[in-house]
Amino acid sequence: MADSPDSLDAFRQFAALERGVLVVSVAMFAFSLAFQMTSRYVPEYLTVLGASAGVVGLYGSVGNLVSAVYPYPGGRLSDRIGSRRALTLFGALSTLGFLVWWAAPRLATPTVPAWLWIFLGLFLTQAWKSLGLGATFAIVKQSVAPDRLATGFASTETFRRTGFLLGPLLAAAVLAVVADFTAGFRWVLLVGVAFALLATLGQHWLYDASRDSLGKSFSGVSSVLDDLRGLPRELRPLLVADTLVRFGNGMVYVFFVLVVTDLRAVSFRAFGVTLAPAAFFGVLLAVEMAVALLSMLPVARLADRVGLKPVVALGFAVYAVFPVLLVFAPASQWVFVALFAFSGLRFAGLPAHKALIVGPAARDEGGSTTGAYYLVRNVVVVPSALLGGLLYDHDPVLAFTVASVVGSFGVLYFLARGERFHPE
């Protein structure tokens, strides 16, 4: 809570928004808007730049690799130097990454194709999102009472998902106005650069670093092994189930846009508005996020009272069944709207999921525990998109069906073995 009352006190009390959480939430909004309005279209951007389905799958797996490798050192660094310095560095790198994506067509040479620059940009754009993961978790851990962790994470997730809601709508608006996809998407990237830069400067100036608690220094591979062995017992069933669910989703996640724009080529015509498939995809993502925002905070507050397991299981189940529902859906605009609205329910479990990850951690080890958890999960998930790309190139329906089967195993495992954890 704030040290003295002000006009935001009532909202802070409802949504667990202490100042540190508020600042990181606003930064999360801006970065999420920039990332969501750009990254979900990158597979289409890659194909326009000459990449094959296999390269798109490889891009997804490289993204998984980055997500696997970045959180642990990022969490360690944030524990060591403080969250403000870490997040400022990571924000600057992400901003540079969006610029590299924008410049990719101009950087192409006969020996270095344009799509290869997209891979370089990926390593940079993911910095705030993945390297900063431990820092954002640690800020919430340090700022919110243990019995309100789910609500605290719901606050950050609400800001983040608001960015996810508005980002695709901005992208859709630009793509609807600019007929050429490549030209329109490059304008979208410039908007992303602006938001990322503002977020980087804002979080550096506004975040009060006096409450940062610094953890132990990094002492090599032994520190990684110690943190992995030291993962709280409550996390182990969650980790196994989460890994299976994310592996299944990771097989086809990068191909969602291609299902809408290519495989089904679903456009939108209603209320006097006509949208091409690429612009319509942005609207679908906004529908997904609208449902997420409406459901997230109430469900998180319920989880604080009844326990985290049922809420996490709900999110896992939606993750698991969505791919098979999507690939078998008829090419109807309203069916796709309904499917993406259903997909939004998977985010209702994310605040409870994050609370379950960081809840058992020691106060000054929130970043390290989070980094170790995501290191294990994301390393296993690394090859998922490459496998999905190979299957998609052969038979898209097969790829999406296998993805749902793998995810369903994770749901069943969590229901059988997951613990009904309450933060204490």
Structural domain includes residue 422: no
Contact 255, 399 (CB under 8 A): yes
d(CA 176, CA 279): 6
Number of residues that this document lists for the chain: 424
CATH number of the domain that residue 234 is part of: 1.20.1250.20
Structural domain includes residue 216: no
Structural domain includes residue 214: no
Q: Hunting for tokens 């304008």 — which residue is that?
A: 187
Contact 30, 39 (CB under 8 A): no
Structural domain includes residue 258: yes
Structural domain includes residue 8: no
Half-sphere exposure for 141 (CA within 13 Å, toward CB): 29
Q: How many domains does the chain have?
A: 1
d(CA 106, CA 338): 39
Contact 138, 9 (CB under 8 A): no
DSSP single-letter state for residue 216: P
Could you tell me the residue range of the domain that residue 37 belongs to?
16-209+226-417
Contact 247, 406 (CB under 8 A): yes
Structural domain includes residue 221: no
Structural domain includes residue 424: no
Neighbouring CB atoms inside 10 A of 1's CB total: 14
Give per-residue pLDDT as tens, 278-323: 999 999 999 998 998 888 778 877 777 777 888 888 899 999 999 9
Q: Which residues contact 239 (CB under 8 A, 6 or more apart)?
A: 231, 373, 376, 377
Structural domain includes residue 311: yes
Q: pTM score > 0.85 for this model?
A: no
pLDDT by 10s per residue, the chain, length 424: 444 334 344 344 444 456 666 777 788 889 989 999 999 999 999 999 999 889 999 999 999 888 778 877 887 777 777 777 888 889 999 999 999 999 999 999 989 999 999 999 999 998 888 766 666 666 666 666 666 666 666 667 677 778 888 999 999 999 999 888 999 999 999 999 999 999 898 887 876 655 555 444 444 455 566 666 667 777 788 899 999 999 999 999 999 999 999 999 999 999 899 999 999 999 999 999 899 888 877 887 777 777 788 888 889 999 999 999 999 999 999 999 999 999 998 888 777 887 777 665 555 455 566 767 877 888 899 999 999 999 999 999 999 999 999 999 999 999 998 766 554 4
d(CA 402, CA 318): 15
Q: Hunting for tokens 């962790």 — which residue is that?
A: 149
